[in-house]
Amino acid sequence: MKLWGGRFTKETNRLVHNFNASISFDQKFYRQDIRGSIAHVTMLAKQGILSETDRDIIINGLKGILSDIENGTLEFSPESEDIHSFIEQNLIERVGEAGKRLHTGRSRNDQVALDMKLYTRDELDEIDALLKNLLTSILKVMEEHLETYMPGFTHLQKAQPITLSHHFGAYFEMFRRDRSRICDIRSRMNLCPLGSGALAGTTYPLDRDYTASLLEFDGPTLNSMDSVSDRDYLIELLSALSTIMMHLSRFSEEIIIWNSNEYRFVEIDDSYSTGSSIMPQKKNPDIAELVRGKTGRVYGALMSLLTTMKGIPLAYNKDMQEDKELSFDAIDTVKGCLTLFTGMIDTMKFNQSVMESSAKNGFTNATDAADYLVNHGVPFRDAHGIVGQLVLFCIEKNISLDDMSLEEFQAISPVFEKDIYEAISLKTCVEKRTTIGAPGKEAMIRVIENCKDYLNL
Ligand code: ARG
């Protein structure tokens, strides 16, 4: 049964019905659809547009539908065009005449705009909570590894020594920004479109402020044409989700490298790894790879929706139905990735000694050796050249700077004294970097305090 059969003399072609129908995916927001309808009839009754008796009959019917869907006694029918038709038809079957008054002063255009906003708002809150969990796990590693020295890289070449705490701190900042983007989107989108009708409002004396407050919006939207055709918040959402995935993907890439046989900085727990059907020795970082791989489909959703929206004249057009599967898939993908990634971090082992010896053997203290010379009056450009010679010497002998004898140091520059060893020890190199944002323990402790406050820990 169609909601709009009156004007038609022929049945819809079966393929047309299937092509047009959205019930297979918009059933995802049955809860929001019912919530919106309850608010709508509550407002209609307050305004005297609907009797209080009809209001109560409708609300009871809707609550019955909700519990029947949730306990599995009511199944979504593929014969219905969409979730809105499904619920309205079911209501009419249950409560009769009163059910036919539900759609007074409403169109599916403002109804779907509302449902999608309510759904997105709920999901934004869930994504925010998952980001907070991830940040809590990251912070734990930051607190535990203030003195776990490792090489910091540029160009994937060992550059200067840092700590694992500092490295994880970089991701803390990224996911902190992601949360603030989610929060911005939530506050910008939080205006209620219900009451906009098909495109031009309605002739009923609706109280849109009241409906908005019942549904915990900050107020009603201010242009009915925009209300039914605004999908900006979904584009913003997909953009923020893409950024989250980009961060997770970079992090995954590092973990894949760190977990490799060559690096062995970390070991992914057995429970988060998979094996090979042919090579018995393998333990693969599939979760990190899948997270990295799934980034593509979230970016794809963003590009799809931008492209879908670019040629649509005002106001509602059916193209907009395409927003749903894309957004649902991207939201579910991000939620899955955040959950799995957090579990992987929580169970991962960090090989401190491997990280530390990697930092020692990669000349990550070369800059500090040059700074030592500068502190003894050598101009930086000359110091750079002298340390270059030291490095060349070490490469030939296959040793690190710390392994050179004082005579060998002094043969290259007489400025070097016994205290050079202390000056270029990993610990000194890191701990002297005490300005805020740097890896030194003193600076990191201040940052960790800030992170704790931010997470209310
Ligand atoms: N399934 C539709 C959508 O997702 C609902 C709105 C239908 N409105 C209409 N005028 N056909 O956009």
pLDDT at 253 over 80: yes
Catalytic residue at 103?
Answer: no
Within 6 A (CB) of ligand 1 lie 22, 26, 82, 108-109, 112, 316, 318, 320-321, 324
- 156, two tokens: 């994937």
- Percentage of the chain lying above the pLDDT 90 cut: 94
pLDDT of 1 reads 67
**Whether residue 315 has a cis bond before it, omega within 30° of 0:** yes
List the one residue out of 198, 195, 199 whose CA is nearest residue 208: 195
Q: Which DSSP string corresponds to 175-243?
A: HHHHHHHHHHHHHHH--B-TT-TTTT--SS---HHHHHHHTT-SSB-S-HHHHHH--HHHHHHHHHHHH
Ligand 1 centroid – CA 321 distance (Å): 6
Ligand 1 centroid – CA 206 distance (Å): 22
- 134, two tokens: 């991830």
Q: Which of 8, 111, 321 most suits a substitution to test ligand 1, by most atoms within 8 Å of the C-beta?
A: 321
Average model confidence (pLDDT) for the chain? Answer: 96
pLDDT of 9 reads 85
Residues contacting 345, CB < 8 A, separation 6+: 134, 137, 138, 141
**Strand (E) or helix (H) holding 451:** helix 441-454
Q: How confident is the model at residue 340 (pLDDT cuts 50, 70, 90)?
A: very high
Catalytic residue at 358?
Answer: no
Ligand 1 centroid – CA 440 distance (Å): 57
Q: Which of 108, 114, 225, 309 most suits a substitution to test ligand 1, by most atoms within 8 Å of the C-beta?
A: 108
User: What is the largest distance, in Å, between two alpha-carbon atoms of the chain?
Assistant: 101
Q: What is the pLDDT of residues 166-189, one digit of tens each?
A: 999 999 999 999 999 999 999 999
- Percentage of the chain lying above the pLDDT 70 cut: 100
Q: What is the pLDDT of residues 44-100, one digit of tens each?
A: 999 999 999 999 999 999 999 999 999 999 999 999 999 999 999 999 999 999 999
Q: What is the pLDDT of residues 346-377, one digit of tens each?
A: 999 999 999 999 998 889 999 999 999 999 99
Q: Which of 26, 112, 196 most suits a substitution to test ligand 1, by most atoms within 8 Å of the C-beta?
A: 112
Nearest residue CA, atom 12 of ligand 1?
321
* Catalytic entry in 166, 213, 276, 357: 276
Residues contacting 292, CB < 8 A, separation 6+: 248, 249, 252, 253, 256
One-letter identity of residue 326: L
Q: What is the pLDDT of residues 370-406, one digit of tens each?
A: 999 999 999 999 999 999 999 999 999 999 999 999 9
List the one residue out of 372, 401, 393 whose CA is nearest residue 384: 372
- Which atom from ligand 1 is nearest to the alpha carbon of 83? 1
Nearest residue CA, atom 2 of ligand 1?
321
pLDDT of 157 reads 95
Nearest residue CA, atom 10 of ligand 1?
109
- Which atom from ligand 1 is nearest to the alpha carbon of 316? 10
